[in-house]
Structure 1
Amino acid sequence: MSVLVLQTYLLVILSAHIVVHSHPKPVATPELAQLQAQLMKDLPKDWPLDRCVNSHGDFGLCSTHMGCEDSGGLHIGLCSLAGVPGSGSCCYQLQCRATSVQQELLERLNHFGLRNTPAHMISRAALRQLGSDPMHQICGRPPAIFRRGQILSQLSTEMRYPWLLSLWIKPRGAKDEDAVPICGAALISTRHAITAAHCIVENHFEYFIQGGTNWNWVGFGTKIYLAGIKIHPGFEQVTFEHDIAILQFKERVILTSSIFPVCLPPPVSVITDYSSQSVVIAGWGCIDEHCQTDDRPILLRDTVLPIIDNDLAMCLFLNDSIESGSPEYIPKETFIVVGDDSGSSATCSGDSGSPAVRDRGDQWEVVGLVSWSRGCGRKFRPTVLTRVESYSAWVLDSLGRS
């Protein structure tokens, strides 16, 4: 495999923060139609428009495709208009774009609880496994995690994020010294880690992991070789929905204060409200939007970012920054958003797959994986994370089978 091919592939991976997503129209299914019919039962008699729900459990108003566009709404699925299945657009209205008439409708939508209610079922077996797993009893609280480390050239070698791993890629048959780091990952057991699915979209390369060090350089820390990779079956390369993958190791890692798993959030039936909370994200990504692979820092950097509402994030993406804004549908069921309108602290290319963790007092929990944005550090361009709790059941089920 030539170096040119590897560089081309890396360009695709590292441009995840610059991609402008176009969302294909979802296909109407009998299950979705049944869910819509069930939700219509409580509809007030004087309701002026039909409400609809998409496959993510987000609600909208059923209108024509042109009507949705003219009203400044986001097309999030299909609905039945005038009794014809799939003929209408399930239109998601953002308050930042609504007219005075639409504002009243949005207030009524909120009044009847038609926001943030995903139809997401969980496996009882997964819940039992999480409760009985001894790893879940010790995860997220390694021994002496905040012990001071050595200081080398005025830089601390202390490893404060022992669950953070670095994912490396190389052409098949090449030496490890020829590999380059592309993404982050989170250790969740002695045999498994999770990362963003978009970090692994080709079969022509080999991957390995390094952990237990702040330095992103071959030979530092502990090298971990992979036995297998499982990408979520619903991963969409266009929208980055279901952007999560499981990495299985060839051998178990020995847990130390420098290599220790973070806790998975428990599977949920209703998504968690993370409002007013913050997450810590660490990684070895670029510090400039136009940096190349060789320009990325080798010393770990970190930041604390506030979690913001998905509707607010969609409004931010509509604003002008370096280039004109455009509609971005960010489903609450699959994504969490962090950052603000300033862009002063943000993730960048190479940070994909890195865990966003929160301190639950006695344990650290991974709530998100860096997925995408548009550019790096731009105003009105927050960071979009894969919502890990929506995939905990899938992860636990996969770990049980492996």
Structure 2
Amino acid sequence: MYTPVEFSEADYPQVKYQRRQQFWDPIRLALFTLAIAAIIGIAIGIVTHFVVEDDKSFYYLASFKVTNIKYKENYGIRTSREFIERSHQIERMMSTIFRWPSRGGRFIKSHVIKISPDEHGVNIFMVLIFRYPSTDSVERIKKTIERTLYQSLQTKRFPLTINESSFTLTHINSKNMRKLLTNRCGIRLTSSKMPLPAISSTERIAHGRETAMEGEWPWQVSLQLRGVGHQCGATLISSTWLLTAAHCFRRNKDPSQWIASFGATLAMPSVQRSVGKIIVYENYHTETNENDIALVQLTKLVEFSGSVQRVCLPDSSLKLPPNTSVFVTGFGSTVNNGPMQNILRQARVETISNDVCNRKDVYNGLITSGMLCAGFMEGKVDACQGDSGGPLVYSDHGTWYLVGIVSWGRSCGLPKKPGVYTRVTRYRDWIASKTGI
């Protein structure tokens, strides 16, 4: 258990400065007054500029044809590896085209919404997000975007060939943009509907930081027993299915006794749903923690929004190398055996190879192929009690994938005792067989 460090006045002694004799003649006083007036005038001008010329988000739906690739059936499945990889390639291309500021604006993000077949290749539908002064007009910005695209296509070489004549751009409002993006898994939106990049917090859930805003981890779920409260975390993988740890149901497997709560706080949830079905992995072993995975089906679907969103499930072939940055979230204790937290906490940890985790001085051979270690060998950053069942996620070009489920570990944040997670890729076929996802 960690105790806060207290500082006395002796640690921060006060510094005494010698007083200088003040000497103000009329000329110096006048110059000083003019300087102060000038500074105040500049400050007022700056404030006025930012009030009047405050930046605003502009959203556009773009569609165009790519003629040098052929359509694949899996492009129609948004969670397929083919769709995601092709989407990332197109989004990187858009970033290259629009990455430089243009006439006072800047490119923020792009997201592919749909890839459909065309006799000459494929049709691409995507959302483009920009920031421009609020005084700019929608049409003026549209012309700037189109001109930038055409100039880039004529002066640069790209791996994908866009048919310029097929390019169309339509302005959409934030509500329609949100509807389009919520059709994709693994997208995070802030309360202002802006996509969030990966954060870089290195603090632990135990002694870590609270989440910055609602919607930062929109797939996080709190599993609660009626009349008791939070027991475990879980992850939203569709509008009706959650993924969690099997050990959460050791004492109570009755679905009618469980509630799923969504949002960044326990006291004021965004959404709550009753549980209709609990499916624990058939070969779960309580003694060894093997196959610590379970599915939860809700009685009523949840509608996706900025604060409630599904994460992407990884392809079974995904392999993360050691030292890959991943993120764990939960409402669990901040110290070993401490109380639950009302506000969701987050931490960045790093993957650790099973070979290292199975060393005699670490977990001495207890880590199986269905487990994944993440944390730091020096300890401190870790999940803790109450985070069980929650998500360990990985970002690939802004799309988030569930790679682990908080399973077990020795205490919280001890050196050479990192967190152990259920390796989701190992159970991809089982998840599909039960849910169709």
User: Which TM bucket (shorter chain)?
Assistant: 0.5 to 0.7
How far apart in 1 are the matches of 2:332 and 2:353? 25
Match of 1:139? 185
Report 1:84-123 matches (<5 A). none
Match of 1:286? 333
Alignment equivalent of 1:214, drawn from 264, 268, 281: 264
Conserved? CA contact 2:241–2:297, under 8 Å: yes
Letter of the 1:160 counterpart: E
1:394 counterpart = 2:430: yes
Match of 1:304? 348
Letter of the 1:233 counterpart: E
Match of 2:173? none
How far apart in 1 are the matches of 2:75 and 2:405? 23
**C-alpha distance after superposition, 1:196-216 (max 9, x if no partner):** 1111123465111101x2112
Say how many residue pairs are matched.
247
3-state SS in 2 of match to 1:306: strand
Distance 1:156 1:329, change over 3 A: closer
1:311, distance to aligned residue in structure 2 (A): 1.5
Alignment equivalent of 2:322, drawn from 247, 252, 275: 275
Conserved? CA contact 1:230–1:246, under 8 Å: yes
* TM-score, length basis structure 2: 0.53
Match of 1:111? none
In percent, how many aligned pairs have the same letter?
A: 28
Letter of the 1:245 counterpart: A
Match of 1:359? 395
How far apart in 1 are the matches of 2:196 and 2:325? 23
How far apart in 1 are the matches of 2:381 and 2:434? 35
1:165 counterpart = 2:221: yes
How far apart in 2 are the matches of 1:131 and 1:283? 34
Report 1:313-352 matches (<5 A). 313-315=357-359, 318=361, 327-331=364-368, 333-352=369-388
Distance 1:157 1:235, change over 3 A: same
Match of 1:384? 420
1:341, distance to aligned residue in structure 2 (A): 2.0
3-state SS in 1 of match to 2:332: coil
3-state SS in 1 of match to 2:258: strand
Structure 1: gaps (5+ residues):
1-127, 149-153, 171-177, 320-325
Distance 1:210 1:131, change over 3 A: farther
How far apart in 2 are the matches of 1:265 and 1:382? 23
Letter of the 2:353 counterpart: D
3-state SS in 2 of match to 1:371: strand
How far apart in 2 are the matches of 1:286 and 1:181? 11
1:262 counterpart = 2:311: yes
Distance 1:130 1:352, change over 3 A: farther
Report 1:49-60 matches (<5 A). none
How far apart in 2 are the matches of 1:145 and 1:191? 25
How far apart in 1 are the matches of 2:321 and 2:293? 20
1:180, distance to aligned residue in structure 2 (A): 1.3
Conserved? CA contact 2:188–2:215, under 8 Å: no
3-state SS in 1 of match to 2:431: helix
1:131, distance to aligned residue in structure 2 (A): 7.0
Task: Using CA pairs under 8 Å that are at least 6 residues apart, name the structure with larger relative contact order, 1 or 2.
Answer: 1
**C-alpha distance after superposition, 1:298-352 (max 9, x if no partner):** 111100001011111122x626xxxxxx734212x20110112221111100011
Alpha-carbon RMSD: 2.6
Structure 2: gaps (5+ residues):
1-71, 84-183, 198-209
How far apart in 1 are the matches of 2:327 and 2:217? 10
Letter of the 2:264 counterpart: N
Distance 1:185 1:146, change over 3 A: same
Match of 2:287? 238
Letter of the 1:277 counterpart: T
Conserved? CA contact 1:129–1:396, under 8 Å: no
Distance 1:313 1:129, change over 3 A: farther
How far apart in 1 are the matches of 2:319 and 2:196? 32
Match of 1:198? 247
1:262, distance to aligned residue in structure 2 (A): 0.3
3-state SS in 2 of match to 1:393: helix
How far apart in 1 are the matches of 2:73 and 2:384? 35
Distance 1:133 1:208, change over 3 A: farther
Distance 1:228 1:318, change over 3 A: same
Conserved? CA contact 2:336–2:385, under 8 Å: yes
How far apart in 2 are the matches of 1:129 and 1:263? 19
Match of 2:201? none
Letter of the 1:159 counterpart: G
1:146, distance to aligned residue in structure 2 (A): 4.6
How far apart in 2 are the matches of 1:227 and 1:146? 32
* TM-score, length basis structure 1: 0.57
Letter of the 1:334 counterpart: G
**C-alpha distance after superposition, 1:223-267 (max 9, x if no partner):** 011110111111111111111101101111101011000000112
Letter of the 2:413 counterpart: G
Larger Rg: 2
